[in-house]
Amino acid sequence: MTTNDGGANSDRERIAVIPGDGIGQEVVPAAREVLEAVGPEFEFVAGEAGDAVRDKTGEALPDETRELAAGADATLFGAAGETAADVVLPLRNAVGSFANVRPARAYPGVDAPHPETDIVFVRENTQGVYSGHETDVAPGVTTLTRVITESASREISRYAFEYAAERGETVSHVTVAHKANVMRKTDGLFLETAEAVGAEYDVPYDDALMDALAMHLVQRPEDYDVVLCPNLAGDVLSDLAAGLVGGLGLLPSANVGREGGLFEPVHGSAPDIAGEGVANPAATMLSAALLLEHLGYDEAGQRVRSAVEGTLADGPHTPDLGGSATTRDVTDAVVARLE
Ligand code: GGG
């Protein structure tokens, strides 16, 4: 079900707003308020997806929601629950994204176990074990095919090295995460391709076995800048990094590539707190800042980021950050900084 609540105006950029499940229903409206407060005249178009829609209609991602995202200039998404494979993966595909960019930064004012953390995970977004090739072979026997192609590995590697090269003043090197000593063919190809692409850039790079990397990230996060990852490794390692900076409530993400873009918090639907009005909206608001920058509204994006950072520094804080504020309190505080 979609509702066009912005009115038809072809001059305005069209933003698909898909809250999804659980706390997505709370943090996405909060981030939308922030987009409205910051100025650009967007046309917001709402779409439904997720567990609740599946329960109601039998389909977790109605065609009209997929088409809405595919045709929008950008999409703001919340969270997927049990139906993640039916919702968020096809939506990322619908917007033509091949890169999932997940910045993990510690923010002043937040009690971060590792305040020196400032890492950007560049995750391959279309392949690996998330390519959807799972089979019931026989009762009690299942298989999963892990797909890695040279072309997709080259595309994501080029994205990561371009990203690092453009930020030469703050990014010193790229680390390629893999497990090529075990998954010799698939991660062997990923690593070999990433190294070949890296050799074309004036950006230092190294590689790391992803299991050892998990330990080193916890011990010395300051040693890492941009971490280029196959799909599952990027999902897991970025969540690990959330633990270094104070939690999943702080990590935004951008799914970008050839066409539009889909912007979402790294966190999921958090059913344990859904409906209580205490979800931290920071990750989704920071995702909205990435959305603004993706559309070329750099100044507005920076204003949103500064307002969120200011609120993280001075409070109020939601319970995940040790406070007792509600999503509403934090949203009001961020919006007040934008006015
Ligand atoms: N907003 C992120 C989200 O909905 N996460 C749920 C999930 O399981 N995601 C898998 C993934 O990020 O690939």
| Per-residue pLDDT, 94 | 95
Taking the C-alpha atoms of residue 226 and residue 190, their distance in angstroms, rounded to an integer, is: 16
Does residue 88's CB lie within 6 angstroms of at least one atom of ligand 1? yes
pLDDT tens for each residue of 114-129: 999 999 999 999 999 9
Q: Whose CA is nearest to atom 12 of ligand 1?
A: 235
Instruction: Tell me the CA–centroid distance for residue 79 and ligand 1, in Å.
Output: 7
Q: Determine the Cα–Cα distance for residues 58 and 230; give it in Å rounded to an integer.
A: 32
Tens digit of each residue's pLDDT (9 = 90 or more) over 172-209: 899 999 999 999 999 999 999 999 999 999 999 999 99
- Alpha helices (runs of H) in 130-185, residue ranges in sequence order: 150-166
Catalytic residue among 21, 51, 118, 130: 130
> Which candidate in 235, 297, 320, 329 is catalytic?
235
73: annotated active-site residue? no
Tell me whether residue 136 is one of the annotated catalytic residues: no
pLDDT at site 4: 43
- Per the CB < 8 A criterion, the answer to whether 106 and 117 are in contact is yes
Distance (Å, whole) CA 16 – CA 280: 21
Which residue among 25, 88, 287 has the greatest number of ligand 1 atoms within 8 angstroms of its CB, and so is best to mutate? 88
pLDDT at 7: 40
Confidence of residue 260 (pLDDT cuts 50, 70, 90): confident
Torsion angle of alpha carbons 226, 100, 25, 333, nearest 10°? Answer: 30
339: CA distance to ligand 1 center in Å? Answer: 32
Q: Supply the pTM of this predicted model.
A: 0.95
Tens of pLDDT, residue by residue over 267-310, are 999 999 999 999 999 999 999 999 999 999 999 999 999 999 99
What's the gap in Å between 124 CA and the centre of ligand 1?
14
Active site residue 185: no
In 35-96, which ranges are E strands? 42-47, 74-79
